[in-house]
Amino acid sequence: MKITAIILASGFSKRFGGNKLLALYKGKPLMMHIVDKVVKQNFYEVIIVSQYDEVLSLVSHAKSSKGIIKAVKNNNPQKGISESIKLGVKVSQPCDAYMFFVGDAPFIREETIEDMMRMYERIEVKETAILYPFYEEKRGNPVIFAQVYKEELMGLSGDKGGKQIIARHSEYAIGYEVGHPKELFDIDTQLDFKEVL
């Protein structure tokens, strides 16, 4: 099964007041925590999309289990998260599914990523499946979309991302319950960052 990981790292960090992806957490930039977890998994391909040269430079020497990470520059970040999604899908090789991560939610466990991949592979109707993590009523990232949604992913616009696809195809969406709410926690503000510190 060929699952491609796409890490979205093009946000403006307006509420944070600086580039949160480069904020140091436990001695390394925040976004590298998710990158380091992703590259350890058996993904068919790993792609990172960012508007920031500093972020792309950070991952330029990182390697996944299958080789060098593809680093893609987003020159139109003002178009919202949909632009990063489309760029990631566009440069990906033909695969069975896409697993989307966000650079500001670094606390997902390696075991959760691995378990979600295994669960997806076991789904009988994986050709149309969408797998998302949740804790109680809260959904989060990463989300796996079957390849059949490629055209819809490429047709996204604005800053809503894949949520609109999940809403349209809710009958095919399957939840994976994570063990702790922190796994889905994304950092938006300095206060959020202070909490995790």
Q: Would you say residue 187 has pLDDT above 90? A: no
Non-local CB neighbours of 55 within 8 Å, separated by 6+ positions:
9, 21, 22, 31, 48, 103
Non-local CB neighbours of 164 within 8 Å, separated by 6+ positions:
156
Indicate the pLDDT class of residue 15, thresholds 50, 70 and 90: low
Residue 12: both structure tokens together? 């403006």
For residue 85, give the nearest of 117, 112, 48 by alpha carbon: 48
What whole-number percentage of the chain has pLDDT above 90? 71
**Whole-structure pTM value:** 0.93
Non-local CB neighbours of 6 within 8 Å, separated by 6+ positions:
47, 48, 49, 85, 88, 89, 92, 98, 99, 100, 101
pLDDT tens for each residue of 82-134: 999 999 999 999 999 999 999 988 999 999 999 999 999 999 999 999 999 99
pLDDT at position 99 is: 98
d(CA 74, CA 142): 20
Q: Would you say residue 59 has pLDDT above 90? A: no
**Phi-psi map region of 161: left, alpha, beta (phi>0 left; psi -120 to 50 alpha):** left
Residue 37: both structure tokens together? 């977890």
Q: What is the mean pLDDT of the chain?
A: 91
pLDDT tens for each residue of 64-81: 666 678 999 999 999 999
d(CA 192, CA 183): 14
pLDDT tens for each residue of 25-44: 888 999 999 999 999 999 99
Q: Would you say residue 191 has pLDDT above 80? A: no
pLDDT at position 145 is: 98
Q: Is 164 exposed, middle or buried (0-12, 13-18, 19+ CB in 10 A)?
A: middle
Phi/psi at 70 (5° precision): -80, 120
pLDDT at position 12 is: 73
